[in-house]
Structure 1
Amino acid sequence: MLARHPPVVPPAPADTATQRVYDGIYGAIVEHRLPPGTRLREQELAEGFGVSRTVVRQALQRLAADQVIALEHNKGATVPQPDRAQAAQVFEARQVIEGDIARRLAGQLSAAQVASLRALVAAEQAAQARADKAAAVRLSGQFHRELAVLAGNPLFVRWIDELLPLTSLLILQYQRGGHPGCVTHRHDELIEALASGSPARAAAEMRKHLQELARSLREGPARPVAPLRDVFAAYREPTHPIP
């Protein structure tokens, strides 16, 4: 899921609002609803989420600390615009981390865990079939994140959480039109490799999958940016007036 590192103790209302804004922006980036370079203006976000600018500012600071957005003094917040050099770094890091995750999981997954992964891939394929790109991208990221969770190392999950938004931005900025962000049949093949019990095969299949995704990146046309109030309309709580 997109919510990250949920607290053990139920948060106070202000924290809940901040988390809602955090999750909304994080999810919009991962789901390709916020193109690279989009200005994240506090007032627009406050109106979009139905919260105060203070809550928005807190969420933006957390997102910047997690390297999901860029936040500069006197310039405000923007969705990052990763370049080709960063693309190489992102996919190199993912191959190292996720290759090791696949190696560790090979032959170690229970039948229930394999079934859960297959259900995620089936949901992703269904989203692609109905041309719901946002859902397909979200489910693809969820699949990769779930593998990190199953590996049992919280640092793996944290690293994947930081790399997924960058990957989505790279796909949005450089991938050819009509090419699926993450090819679902590769996910099927990866599950087969994990179930085979061969660490070498599982790691090689993961690296192959990520290399294919990296090779699909090309310079693409600029995407139009919708008003932030429209992008985050689903997160607004109309029963609570904007402070």
Structure 2
Amino acid sequence: MPRRSAAPAAVPDTATQRVYDGIYGAIVEHRLAPGTRLREQELAEGFGVSRTVVRQALQRLAADQVIALEHNKGATVPQPDRAQAAQVFDARQVIEGDIARRLAGQLSAEQIERLRALVAAEQAAQARSDKASAVRLSGQFHRELAVLAGNPLFVRWIDELLPLTSLLILQYQRSGHPGCVTHRHDELIAALASGTPAKAAAEMRRHLQELARSLDGGPAPAGLPLRDLFAAYREG
């Protein structure tokens, strides 16, 4: 689910975008723990780029509210608290509930099949205990609904809320609980296909409420050193 930054498309920078996408993906896929210091030198070594490129990517991530960046303190992965959890899920219920309401009965057979394929891939990832892929595919499912709604602002808001959701799950969800229950995604697709806006919106809210209720504590695990975590993003 590579996410493109809001930087102007007229000034492409593939190296900066590679770093942006790598850090964004690592947060969403639970490979970067809340509170992790994003040190420029380690990231530069990890991605095989200059510190200037890293700094540009961090500035974009901070502008998109994916990371925290403070003058003289550097960049860190945010540590959202329980008050923020309530705010995040409140916002998601409002936005995604309306997305579901708008899409009910409006999706083509091809679009329904694309959603089902995402859920099937997510279920397969869970079955092989590939948590990173399962989390990424779950987020991709929710983002795809925002894309199908046809409003770019919905997509932008979901892009901002998904990393925070992932951090909250990593920080507070009880051990062994799947990040986003796939059978709820199946039920949501059924509600969307039924053509009843109220039913689709209610199913989306129920799904997000269940996810919110699963956040009942537990420390986040330590992650790999940054230079090792992002080694796969280095150009050959």
Which of 217, 229, 232 aligns to 1:231? It is 229
Q: Which residue of 2 aligns with 1:119?
A: 117
SS at match of 1:67: coil
Give runs of aligned pairs for residues 33-52 of structure 1, distance below 5 A.
Answer: 33-52=31-50
Match of 1:106 in 2: 104
Query: The residue matched to 2:224 in structure 1 has which SS?
Result: coil
* Residues 1:221 and 2:219 are matched in the alignment: yes
The AA in structure 2 aligned to 1:229 is: R
Alpha-carbon distance in structure 2 between the residues aligned to 1:203 and 1:20: 36
Residue 80 (structure 1) shift: 0.1
Q: Note the alpha carbon deviations across 1:163-197, whole angstroms, 9 max, x for none.
A: 00000000000000110000000000000000000
Shift of 1:3: 2.5
| Structure 2: distance between partners of 1:47 and 1:126 | 33
In structure 1, distance between residues paired with 2:220 and 2:30: 12
Q: Deviations over 1:110-152 (max 9, x none)?
A: 0000000000000000000000000000000000000000000
Structure 2, unaligned runs of 5 or more = none
Amino acid at match of 2:68: A
- How does the TM-score come out when normalised to structure 1? 0.94
What does residue range 12-31 of structure 1 map to in structure 2 within 5 Å? Answer: 12=12, 15-31=13-29
- Runs of 4+ in structure 1 displaced over 3 angstroms? 5-12
Equivalents in 2 of 1:42, 1:198: separation in Å? 50
In the alignment, the residues of structure 2 paired with residue 58 and residue 216 of structure 1 have an alpha-carbon distance, to the nearest angstrom, of: 36
Instruction: Give the Å deviation of 1:230.
Output: 1.1
Q: Which amino acid aligns with 1:118?
A: R
Q: Name the SS of the counterpart of 2:99 in structure 1.
A: helix
SS in 1 for 2:110: helix
Whole-Å Cα distance in 1 between the matches of residues 174 and 123 of structure 2? 19
Q: Deviations over 1:42-96 (max 9, x none)?
A: 0000000000000000000000000000000110000000000000000000000
Secondary structure (helix, strand or coil) at the match of 2:105 reads coil
Amino acid across the alignment from 2:19: V
Deviation at 1:16, TM superposition (A): 0.5
Alignment of 1:61-210 (within 5 A): 61-210=59-208
How far is the alpha carbon of 1:9 from its aligned partner? 6.2
Shift of 1:4: 2.0
Contact 2:135/2:179 (CA < 8 Å) preserved in 1? yes
CA contact (8 A) 2:122 2:138 kept: yes
Structure 1 residues not aligned, in runs of 5+: 239-243
Identity %: 87
Q: Could you tell me which amino acid in structure 2 is paired with residue 144 of structure 1?
A: H
Give SS of 1:71's match: strand
Q: What is the root-mean-square deviation in Å for CA atoms of aligned residues?
A: 1.4
Aligned residues: 236
TM-score, L = length of structure 2: 0.97
Q: State how far apart, in whole Å, the 1-side matches of 2:220 and 2:137 are.
A: 24
Matched residue SS, 1:77:
strand
